[in-house]
Chain A
């Protein structure tokens, strides 16, 4: 009996390490494949700026970016200046998906640091985010002119990522 208990930590860690290895397999291709080249999912949610309900049709100016953000997301602040730059240079329209957030706080923040979005979808329960398979904020999707998701990027959108992942598709 005693012998067996001494092996318990070892056995536990074997499982633990197998689990960690399996997490590593989840590479980006898999992340993307769930939605990649599929139509943007249907939704009907209020705007952040008003109570008005928006649907897929309201994402009218395609191609465009959909950026998942929230006030509690620190990394979103890091990419914010870059989004502002995209807006100023009017490279592409950006729609926001305000994810699991409070309306008041979100509006205040945009007031304070600037609003790079055409408008933001207010997804308090994370419904649309769930359909999109959002992993966390920030996340950025590229929707082409046919309304098909072409790129998904998890994490901070930087100059580098933009050049390598997004610009290539946009230029096509």
Chain B
């Protein structure tokens, strides 16, 4: 019964969002402003309909309503309540509903911040957003309905939520990621509205920027949590795999970063208008394309989703409608855009342009790598290849260097042209001294060097000098310094986050240690600066799995820690899962995976040391924090 109500509410949302989506058209025909006025209230109604529909699905999960196919496939009575809740978005159908709900939230918060703005413009934006909502509700209802019943024969017990997904990080990973993905629809909608109403100016750029910043921030968090999850849950210490699904999130992330940087120039200088508009379209395209790649089954990936070619066709039709439609509007409307001015090659404008080119070319290359197996196959008639991590690792390096270089000096380039170059010398000196210091420190701790780590440290120092040390140097008084730090909080935090990220990636790639060993009870093994000792193993049964739990002692100098590496067998699916034991410290993680039972009290283990890995996620958090602060500041300013 509850599920039927949820189903009906969703159909209601479909109808109303369709109406909102085309109400500006009705206004155009009837000239009645009523059609503008209703978009706001109706948009809120859509939000509530989707919300209650979502709640009814959650309710079905919590009450083990296995007559719903979706519930029966992804939950069972043994599952702890917390994971029953998370199972709601654990698979395709429910996660789509979550996606739609996120989009409704975005549309409504846009409405909230712009309720006093120009009625026509807001109505246009909401209309575009509601068309997107409508398209995705249709997609859900027609190809992947979570409210489908398994009647008359309903199972008594459900199968299970994939044990890999029974985990805290995984319960927050999809919502964060979807907030990011769907948030990209707002800048897109603002672009279309601006193209149609023909006012692309600095106010438009300022109003668009917070939304692109916010979605960029959520994407950062979503990707970081996903990588953290892969790191400790897959049990073998990897944190990024260049898997198609990861790329599908990474590409929109890169484009969204390019987008809000380009919007800065549009706001301040009235330049790059076409480019900003194209980026909003491109970002949204990448976001839908990601969904397409993941759900249609054209690419195989670790992320095992329900695949269905029919869904692929549907998403592709949605993609064509929005992207081709928006590009047609772009081509027809925008060629009267003024805003051509000249600037010298060494100017902030040009710096932003380079930043954008690097980011977008990188994004396109990654997308190309992801699609390359398909292209190759099409050309060479069925012969197939795959593109692995080596391609991406080689690819990303020059872009990382270029972007780090720009980040270091970008703040000191002048608009129009740069008059004064003394900053170059100072940044060089500052970063070089910092570089020597860190190199010395790293050498003392790890006792070795490699080109990769030196390069990463160099990039780190360059960014830190330009975005932090030089700012301190430039402010003569302490009060002055405080003001600068506060005013630039968002920028400093995001750029330092990037520096930490680069450093973390460089160090973990070059300095990781790993060994596979066989240990009997009481036996120890020395790796790097620590000794791992196998203390014993226990077997017991938890709520929905059996577990072998090994106690490992990690001894470093005089500090001793005990951790547990586990192997679980889930009752309802018989799947085996490893839970790695991780002892995190500031500089490095100690990581133990339990292998096989090799006879009496003897087990195999995989021991790993991962230097600076935490810094990657710390950096990501700083970046996200920076984008949130920045968007908050802009929203506050424009609301006043």
Instruction: From the candidates A6, A10, A20, A72, name the one contacting B324 in the complex (CB within 8 A).
Output: A10
In the assembled complex, the CB of B605 is this many whole angstroms from the nearest CB of chain A, namely 9
Closest to A130 in B: B383
CB-defined contacts of A135 to chain B, threshold 8 Å: 300, 373, 377, 384, 386
CB-defined contacts of A81 to chain B, threshold 8 Å: 574-576
Q: How many chain A residues touch the partner (CB < 8 A)? A: 39
- List residues 582-619 of chain B with CB under 8 A from any CB of chain A: 595-596, 604, 606
B389 at the interface (CB under 8 A from A): yes
In the assembled complex, the CB of B232 is this many whole angstroms from the nearest CB of chain A, namely 15
Q: Please tell me if the beta carbons of A113 and B386 are within 8 angstroms of each other in the complex.
A: no
In the assembled complex, the CB of B578 is this many whole angstroms from the nearest CB of chain A, namely 9
Given A21-B316, A24-B316, are A34 and B596 also a contact pair (CB < 8 Å)? no
C-alpha spacing A22/B316, complex, angstroms: 11
CB-defined contacts of A14 to chain B, threshold 8 Å: 324
Q: What 0/1 readout, one digit per residue, does chain B (368-399) give for beta carbons within 8 Å of chain A?
A: 00000111011000111010110000000000
C-alpha spacing A155/B301, complex, angstroms: 8
A125 at the interface (CB under 8 A from B): no
C-alpha spacing A165/B274, complex, angstroms: 52
Q: Please tell me if the beta carbons of B378 and A22 are within 8 angstroms of each other in the complex.
A: yes
CB-defined contacts of B236 to chain A, threshold 8 Å: 77
In the assembled complex, the CB of B186 is this many whole angstroms from the nearest CB of chain A, namely 20
C-alpha spacing A6/B404, complex, angstroms: 32
Which listed segment binds A: B30-38, B327-335, B484-492, B551-559?
B327-335
C-alpha spacing A107/B278, complex, angstroms: 50
Q: What 0/1 readout, one digit per residue, does chain B (281-312) give for beta carbons within 8 Å of chain A?
A: 10001000000100010101110100001001
Q: Please tell me if the beta carbons of A75 and B384 are within 8 angstroms of each other in the complex.
A: no
Instruction: From the candidates A9, A13, A74, name the one contacting B234 in the complex (CB within 8 A).
Output: A74
Closest to B162 in A: A78
In the assembled complex, the CB of B135 is this many whole angstroms from the nearest CB of chain A, namely 15
Q: Please tell me if the beta carbons of A19 and B375 are within 8 angstroms of each other in the complex.
A: yes
Instruction: From the candidates B298, B327, B335, name the one contacting A26 in the complex (CB within 8 A).
Output: B298
Between A and B, how many residue pairs show CB distances below 8 Å? Answer: 100
- List residues 1-46 of chain A with CB under 8 A from any CB of chain B: 2-3, 6-7, 9-10, 13-14, 17, 19-24, 26-27, 30, 34
CB-defined contacts of A156 to chain B, threshold 8 Å: 304
A51 at the interface (CB under 8 A from B): no
Q: Please tell me if the beta carbons of A111 and B604 are within 8 angstroms of each other in the complex.
A: yes
Closest to A3 in B: B335
A108 at the interface (CB under 8 A from B): yes
B11 at the interface (CB under 8 A from A): no
Instruction: From the candidates A17, A24, A75, A130, name the one contacting B312 in the complex (CB within 8 A).
Output: A24
Q: Please tell me if the beta carbons of A72 and B388 are within 8 angstroms of each other in the complex.
A: yes
CB-defined contacts of B606 to chain A, threshold 8 Å: 112
C-alpha spacing A29/B234, complex, angstroms: 32
CB-defined contacts of B378 to chain A, threshold 8 Å: 19, 22-23, 26
Closest to A85 in B: B574
Q: Which among B301, B327, B328, B334 has the greatest number of chain A C-beta atoms within 10 A?
A: B327
Closest to B274 in A: A6
Q: Please tell me if the beta carbons of A133 and B384 are within 8 angstroms of each other in the complex.
A: yes
Given A17-B324, A78-B302, A135-B300, are A9 and B330 also a contact pair (CB < 8 Å)? yes
In the assembled complex, the CB of B276 is this many whole angstroms from the nearest CB of chain A, namely 13
CB-defined contacts of B312 to chain A, threshold 8 Å: 24
Given A20-B316, A23-B378, A112-B596, are A10 and B331 also a contact pair (CB < 8 Å)? yes
Closest to A105 in B: B516
In the assembled complex, the CB of B14 is this many whole angstroms from the nearest CB of chain A, namely 25
Main secondary structure of the interface of A (DSSP, over half): helix
A154 at the interface (CB under 8 A from B): yes
Closest to A109 in B: B516
Q: Please tell me if the beta carbons of A136 and B300 are within 8 angstroms of each other in the complex.
A: yes
Q: Please tell me if the beta carbons of A74 and B302 are within 8 angstroms of each other in the complex.
A: yes
B562 at the interface (CB under 8 A from A): no
A56 at the interface (CB under 8 A from B): no
CB-defined contacts of B278 to chain A, threshold 8 Å: 9
Q: Please tell me if the beta carbons of A136 and B304 are within 8 angstroms of each other in the complex.
A: no
Closest to A112 in B: B595
Q: How many chain B residues touch the partner (CB < 8 A)? A: 49
C-alpha spacing A130/B274, complex, angstroms: 45
C-alpha spacing A169/B320, complex, angstroms: 40
Given A6-B331, A20-B292, are A134 and B384 also a contact pair (CB < 8 Å)? yes
B201 at the interface (CB under 8 A from A): no
Closest to B278 in A: A9
Q: Please tell me if the beta carbons of B304 and A78 are within 8 angstroms of each other in the complex.
A: yes
C-alpha spacing A30/B374, complex, angstroms: 14
Q: Please tell me if the beta carbons of B382 and A13 are within 8 angstroms of each other in the complex.
A: no
In the assembled complex, the CB of A37 is this many whole angstroms from the nearest CB of chain B, namely 16
In the assembled complex, the CB of A68 is this many whole angstroms from the nearest CB of chain B, namely 11
CB-defined contacts of B575 to chain A, threshold 8 Å: 81
Q: Please tell me if the beta carbons of B328 and A24 are within 8 angstroms of each other in the complex.
A: no
C-alpha spacing A103/B115, complex, angstroms: 64
Instruction: From the candidates B331, B382, B596, name the one contacting A133 in the complex (CB within 8 A).
Output: B382
CB-defined contacts of A77 to chain B, threshold 8 Å: 234, 236
Instruction: From the candidates A10, A24, A30, A72, name the one contacting B313 in the complex (CB within 8 A).
Output: A24
C-alpha spacing A126/B303, complex, angstroms: 24
Q: What 0/1 readout, one digit per residue, does chain B (506-532) give for beta carbons within 8 Å of chain A?
A: 000000000010000000000000000
CB-defined contacts of A136 to chain B, threshold 8 Å: 300, 373, 384, 386
B323 at the interface (CB under 8 A from A): yes
In the assembled complex, the CB of A5 is this many whole angstroms from the nearest CB of chain B, namely 9
Q: Please tell me if the beta carbons of A154 and B327 are within 8 angstroms of each other in the complex.
A: no
B243 at the interface (CB under 8 A from A): yes
CB-defined contacts of A113 to chain B, threshold 8 Å: 595-596
C-alpha spacing A111/B553, complex, angstroms: 23
Closest to B238 in A: A74
A-B contact pairs, 21 of them (CB 8 A): A3-B335, A9-B281, A9-B327, A10-B324, A10-B328, A13-B327, A17-B319, A21-B313, A23-B298, A24-B298, A34-B382, A72-B389, A74-B243, A75-B300, A85-B574, A112-B596, A133-B383, A134-B384, A135-B300, A135-B373, A154-B300
The 3 A-B residue pairs with the shortest CB-CB distance, nearest first, are A10-B327, A136-B386, A135-B384
Interface residues of A (CB under 8 A from B): 2-3, 6-7, 9-10, 13-14, 17, 19-24, 26-27, 30, 34, 72, 74-75, 77-78, 81, 85, 108, 111-114, 130, 133-136, 154-156
In addition to A9-B281, A136-B386, 18 A-B residue pairs with Cβ atoms within 8 Å of each other are A6-B274, A6-B331, A9-B330, A9-B331, A13-B323, A19-B375, A20-B298, A23-B374, A24-B296, A24-B316, A26-B378, A27-B309, A30-B382, A34-B382, A74-B238, A112-B604, A135-B300, A154-B300
